[in-house]
Amino acid sequence: GLFRFRSLDLMMTSLDGYDPLQVQMMEEEVILVDEQDNVLGKASKKESHLAENIRKGMLHRAFSVFLFNTKGELLLQQRAAEKITFPAMWTNTCCSHPLYFPAEMDTTDAIGVKRAAQRKLLQELGIPPEQVPLSKFKFLTRMHYKAYQEDGKWAEHEVDHILFIQADVTVTPNANEVMAVQYVTQPALRELVATAAERDIKITPWFRLIGENFLYKWWDSLADLSAFGDDQVHKVGEH
């Protein structure tokens, strides 16, 4: 098919020296899509995040969850140092991928990405599914972005489905995924982003882009998001 990139050097790309649990998860199969988010096929998480494949156009489906408590504060996480892509960076509550199987590929009312979000909130942050029922997630839009890691080996190229949820939850971070968590107000997040460079705090590229393009207008309307949301794929950032 379209994405047969398995050159010899690709197969030889070594995951030696990385965390074994994270290496194992690089075998998960993500959903390859075109720029309109139509399914093209599947690839391993490893294949879909190799910079050499992304330079050839490989694009996959992802989600970003923004979880707010009833005080309206946003839960941030700092990705674990063990993560292969964008380690030790601060980001929104949870960012991952729906996997290539029917329950998470179902696009009816964005139910597939909501199921994936519920799965990963449990796996990364220990949040019980009953505290984040599928019906409470609000799908807002999709963002198409690309970002290369400093090492030049790994990258992101995603159609990212943005989900909001407001719930008071119990958080028990999985240390292999998450180094730290923090609830922030709008002013605190604006200050964090503005002063990150001088304080040597790293922020994931997708979180920065969502903040620059979408986040605050929605955050202002948490009580009623019915006026927001669209079916578009917004291409943002550098491509």
- Give catalytic residue positions: 95, 158
Beta strand extents in 149-209 (DSSP E only): 155-166, 178-184
In the structure encoding, which two tokens stand for residue 128, read together?
């019980």
CA distance 128 to 119: 9
> Which residues lie closer than 8 Å to 46 by C-beta, 6 or more apart?
13, 15, 26, 27
Phi, psi of 64 (to 5 degrees): -130, 120
Please state, as a whole number, how many other Cβ atoms lie within 10 Å of the Cβ of residue 126. 15
